[in-house]
Structure 1
Amino acid sequence: GNSHGFKVVSESTYEFMKIGLEPCEKYATKCNEGKSALNDEACKTALLACNGAELIPYVLTGLNPYDMRIKCENPPLCYDFSRLGSWMNEDSTKTALHVSKKSDSWESCNFEVNWNFHGDWMKDFSGYVGDLLDAGIPVLIYA
């Protein structure tokens, strides 16, 4: 439980997650040590270890990862983005946003693009924020 008496996963799942935390943290640390191909492999290994031990058990609860008080109603993103998708794909919106006519239609989450960045998921980029701000580049930080 927690201070609110709200259990998200079973005790056995919690124990599984605790055991999986050590390799998750180990490879996440290796992922962020320097810049080399070995680090890229460590980042991919960290992603697999962390997702398998920490994320997937939570996803299997059916709860919304953005608000654990409610169920995930529209998997996999939990929210209905269909109206946004319709608006983003209107010709007038594409024109206003200067979207190339050669571009594919807009998707709220393109899992192919998402997967192509999977080596970055475990990297800590927070050290670059100061440099961006110093260069006058506006940033949005979300967590």
Structure 2
Amino acid sequence: MSIFRKAYSVVGAILMLQFLAQLYFIAAAIFTIVNANDNAKDVYTAFKSADNFAGLHTLNGDIIGLTILVMIGLSFGSRYPWRTTILTGVLFVLLVIQVLLAHTGIPALSGLHGLNALVMIGLGGFLTGRNWAFRPQTEGTAAAP
């Protein structure tokens, strides 16, 4: 098994962990605000606290971009079929769309940011699972009795 294929699997698993972290960071930001008491001081404090989680969400999103670029390079090095390499590239295109959706300024359109994230998680999981390099190797077919 090629070292590139194993690296693709490891980086794919890291990508899935990054996706989980994204969900955690944005949920923590939202629930920090939602759980604030209904007075100006507490709401202000909640928004300031939520900024930390939102910043981590943004930073992790940037690192996800680098992770996907590494996966694209590894898909070439692994000599995977073009379908895999193209779908890994599509993952990067979805990330670019993700960034654009987050900054449209139109709430109804920016709401698609969450749906696009689910598509990215699904595609990332599909690519990682489909190309998992650590499966036990079968040694041909068993001899008939």
Fold match (TM-score > 0.5): no
Question: Given the two structures, how large is their TM-score scaled by the length of structure 2?
Answer: 0.33
TM-score norm. by structure 1 comes to: 0.33
Q: Which has the higher helix share?
A: 2
